[in-house]
Amino acid sequence: MSRDYPVVAPRPCSWDEMPAELHSRGMRWTPQRRTLIEVLRRTQGHVLAVDLVARCRDLDPTTTPSTVYRTLDVLENLGMVVHGHDGEGREEYHVLPEVDHGHLYCSVCGGMWEIREDEASAIVGHFDHDRGFEVDLSHVTISGRCGGCRSDKSRAEA
């Protein structure tokens, strides 16, 4: 199936090239930034921003949240991470994303699932066609109840 929604731009560098990339942007390669890169290198998929700060502080107690957030902003511009929000509005980052995507969030059990490619294409296509609106899927989180929680409630009501 061809994608009607954005593929994340190719990354200009790898984790190993990050010191040089940050230097080229006028940023120093500090121990705190090195720690964040090491944490991200070991992280797959989604991670809450507060968890990134905590993981960095576990490795280097001098890590400040402001350094983590400023560095994450640069890494987002480089396509290494994509910023979004979970179902409760907390900041999260997707590490090394391949495509922009949204999420389904169950407000009962807290489960979260990525919106499938066909669903994403339908969402993007609908708003583009009907409203001329370009959707940023990385900021789409649809809250509701998953099938399991709906079944549990139905059984409890019966």
Phi, psi of 9 (to 5 degrees): -60, 145
Contact 50, 107 (CB under 8 A): no
Residue pointed to by tokens 């090394």: 96
pLDDT in tens, 34-57: 999 999 999 998 899 999 999 999
Neighbours of 63 (CB within 10 A): 23
pLDDT in tens, 97-140: 877 788 899 999 988 888 888 898 899 899 999 999 998 887 78
> Residue 2 pLDDT more than 80?
no
- Spell out the domains of the chain, with CATH numbers in brackets: 15-95 (1.10.10.10), 103-157 (3.30.1490)
What pLDDT score was predicted for residue 154? 66
> Residue 1 pLDDT more than 60?
no
Contact 98, 7 (CB under 8 A): yes
Whole-number percent of the chain with pLDDT over 90? 49
Whole-prediction pTM value?
Answer: 0.73
